[in-house]
Structure 1
Amino acid sequence: MHHGRKRILAGLASSAIAVIGITAIPAAPGNAEPDIDDVKARVDKLYHQAEQASERSNDAKLKLDDLEADLAALKADEKKQQAKVDSMTSTVSDAVAAQYEGQDISTTGQLVLSNSPDEFLSDLNTVSSYNDVQADTVADYTRETDSLEIRREATQERADELADAQADLEENKDEADAKLAEAKELLGKLEEEERARLDTEASRGTTRLPANVPASGRAAAAVNYAMAQVGDAYVYGAAGPSAFDCSGLTMMAWAQAGVGLPHSSSAQMGSGTSVSSGDLQPGDLVFYYSPVSHVGMYIGNGMIVHAANPGSGVTTAGVFSMPYSGAVRPG
């Protein structure tokens, strides 16, 4: 009986120790720091989303420039046509006045003093002796006023398109800024040591290759310029001299060779001769994602130089380090 009591007490003691051991295990903190790999993936995604919005903004800016030029030409044409109609109005008015000389001045005065071509023609049609007026002159006048109206409509249409393009530009710029701010906020929540590790990982691909990357002709000027920018900052919408976005870098690089490219990755894809991935030469532009939202420049040895993102700046990478879409050879 004595031994049985000891066994019971020992069992109770073991159970108590087990309970104490369980309660002593610290609970996982509810606000633990995010895993750095998860943060890196989220930041990279935000950078890409920001770049997509920025490139759409670049596209809108190109459209805006074209529309502004088109609108200016349409306005000039409309003004010229207006002057022509005004001159013809005077001629037709004089003809009508001559036909109806001696009649009630209110009819003639109404014709001569009309405030608009439409009003003038409407009044003219009310005159009972319309067929006696110089028919050819009036017919010409009618055609010219119709032509003026077509020009007015075209001008208004371009003005509306211009307003839409301006709205698209601002919307995409705001989206790019918002995504970048979100990425910065996410990075700001990391501990300093982890953030330093993340910055180190982002800069590992930054390897300044020799300045004499094998290139010939105009491509050499483009490659040398792009390579000289390695280490510069990435800024959305920038095209130098010390910061670039992806299409800004390639645009400025090929400008050194006298080749004009648009400031847009998708537009640059249509600015050269298409080449296969197996035929790439230094200076060729390589495009990524679908739809295209990033561009780099091939420098040989399976590498590109590109303005990567705000975390990495202008750097080098493998040609297939991103989803490959195609390549072109400018010039």
Structure 2
Amino acid sequence: MIAVTAFAVTLTGAQAAHASPSTSDLTKQIDAQSKQLEVVVESYNAMNISLQKTQSDLTKLQASLAPAKAALQNASAQVGTIATTAYVQGRVGPMSALLDGNSGDLMAKMGFLDQLQQSNQRDIDNFTQTTQTFAQRQTELKSTQQKQAAQLAEIKARKAKIEKDIKSLKAKRTQAYGSPTQSGHKYTGSIPNVSGDAGVAVRYAFNAIGSSYVFGADGPGSYDCSGLTMASWKAAGHSLPHNAAAQWGDVAHISRGDLEPGDLVFYNSLAHVGIYVGNNQIIDAPREGEPVDKRSINRGMPIYGYGRVT
């Protein structure tokens, strides 16, 4: 932007008057498209989190299906034995026991038949319950697989849209400013001395300065906004999801007056996040074509809120 401005002031008054609106309009278009793109990127990250949960649920269902199938086979065998015994021996009921043998064995035989009927009924009930459980788990598995397939298709479509938007954004930037810088210079200045886990996260963020922006990336070497904050706090032993809105749900909400280095600053209706490093400055992964850098907390996006990792 500075180069374009410097170039513009060397033109004649008429030329500058003609060039300035065009450059200004293009800058507004790029800024607007970048904000839209970041919303899509964070949506993509949220869908990835959902997909990971679906895959975890799918693994659990598959694991639970094996014992259910084994129980079903066992129950089926028990019911098969009952059916075979009834076929070979005929239908033997309490009246047969009354007519068979002497009366001295009557009470023992009645007790035996009662136990036999109860045992058979338990096997039949077990068969029925196990069959229902197996069928229910099969249905859940099929539903989960369908959900996973739908999410994969949606992610693929979103990814294609992101890539198309990035391509358009690069073309516009190149037209206005020349080839964009994908990575910047590594930070060589002093790093604030912050104690504890927050200090680890802050040092990581400073060391990430100059890394390129890549949607869906969480380092090392490239990041998107929530990928950078996630990686910074992961270095300190804390787990954050790879999505700004999900991170907002995981942190303790604080006021601006309570901000300390290591806290997170959320922007643009939770479509962007950066890590606070003190002196009203943050480090963030801004957008395609711009490297991770330190900048003012008032970075031109509406601030949504502030959060502390606990």
Same fold by TM-score, threshold 0.5 exceeded? yes
* Kept in 2: contact 1:285–1:328 (CA 8 A): yes
1:187 Cα deviation from its structure 2 partner: 2.4
Where 1:152 maps in the other structure, the secondary structure is: helix
Please state if 1:251 is matched with 2:230.
Answer: yes
| RMSD, aligned α-carbons | 2.9
Unaligned stretches of 5+ in structure 2?
1-14, 91-116
Query: TM-score, normalised to structure 2's length?
Result: 0.79
Aligned to 1:223: 202
Q: Within 5 A, what are the aligned runs for 1:255-270? A: 255-270=234-249
CA contact (8 A) 1:209 1:227 kept: no
The code of the aligned residue for 1:183 comes to L
How big is each residue's C-alpha offset from its partner over 1:49-108, in whole Å with a ceiling of 9 and x where there is no partner?
Answer: 2221111111111111111111111111112101100111011101111011167xxxxx
- In structure 1, C-alpha distance between the alignment counterparts of 2:120 and 2:139, rounded to whole Å: 29
Q: What secondary structure is seen at the aligned counterpart in 2 of 1:287?
A: strand
Question: Are the aligned partners of 1:49 and 1:176 in contact in 2 as well (CA < 8 Å)?
Answer: no
Aligned to 2:308: 329
CA contact (8 A) 1:99 1:133 kept: no
- Are 1:178 and 2:171 an aligned pair? no
Q: Distance in 2 between matches of 1:261 and 1:210?
A: 28
> What amino acid sits opposite 1:59 in the alignment?
A
Partner residue in 2 for 1:76: 63
Mapped to 2, the partners of 1:287 and 1:199 lie a distance apart of 26
Any idea what SS the aligned residue of 1:100 has? helix
Please, which of 287, 299, 305 is the counterpart of residue 309 of structure 1? 287
Return the offset for 1:164: 1.9
Aligned to 1:94: 81
- Which residue among 141, 149, 157 is the counterpart of 2:143? 157
Aligned mates of 2:173, 2:274 — CA distance in 1: 26
Q: Where do residues 35-54 of structure 1 align in structure 2 (5 Å cutoff)?
A: 35-54=22-41
Q: Do structure 1's residue 271 and structure 2's residue 250 form an aligned pair?
A: yes
1:187 match? 173
Describe the superposition over 1:10-66 as per-residue Cα deviations: whole angstroms up to 9, x where unpaired.
xxxxxxxxxxxxxxxxxx9xxx89711211111122222222111111111111111
Aligned to 2:109: none
Is the 1:88–1:141 contact (alpha carbons within 8 Å) kept by the matching residues of 2? yes
Report SS of the residue matched to 2:250.
coil
Query: What whole-Å deviation, never above 9, does each CA across 1:241-267 have from its counterpart, x for those lacking one?
Result: 111111111111111111111111111
Could you tell which deviates more after superposition, 156-165 or 91-100? 156-165
Superposed CA offset, 1:263-313 (max 9, x none): 1111111222111122111000111112x1111000111111000112321
**Cα distance, 1:99–1:185 mapped onto 2, change above 3 Å:** same
Taking the aligned partners of 1:167 and 1:146, their CA distance within structure 2 comes to 32
Q: What CA distance in whole angstroms lies between the structure 1 residues aligned with 2:305 and 2:189? A: 26
- Equivalent runs, 1:6-21 vs 2, <5 Å: none
Aligned partner letter, 1:158: T
Alignment CA distance shift 1:80-1:302 (3 Å):
same
Contact 1:208-1:227 at 8 Å conserved across structures: yes
CA positional deviation for 1:214: 4.3
1:242–1:102 CA distance, 2 compared to 1 (3 A)? same
Matched, 1:167 2:153: yes
What is the distance in 2 between the residues matched to 1:247 and 1:219? 16
SS of 2:249's equivalent in the other structure is coil
Residue-by-residue CA offset, 1:148-178 (whole Å, 9 max, x unaligned): 1111111112112211221222122122111
Q: Which residue matches 2:49?
A: 62
Give the structure 1 partner of residue 263 of structure 2.
284
Structure 1 gaps of 5+ residues are 1-27, 104-130
Q: Secondary structure at the match of 1:172?
A: helix
Equivalence for 1:22: none
Q: Write out per-residue CA displacement over residues 199-249 of structure 1, whole angstroms, 9 at most, x where no aligned residue.
A: 69x999x99584332422110111011011112211111112111111111
* 1:46–1:180 CA contact under 8 A, matched in 2: no
In structure 2, C-alpha distance between the alignment counterparts of 1:230 and 1:298, rounded to whole Å: 14
Q: CA deviation at 1:317?
A: 2.1
User: If you compute each CA radius of gyration, which structure gives the higher value, 1 or 2?
Assistant: 1
How many aligned positions are there? 267
Q: 1:42 to 1:209 in 2, by over 3 A?
A: farther
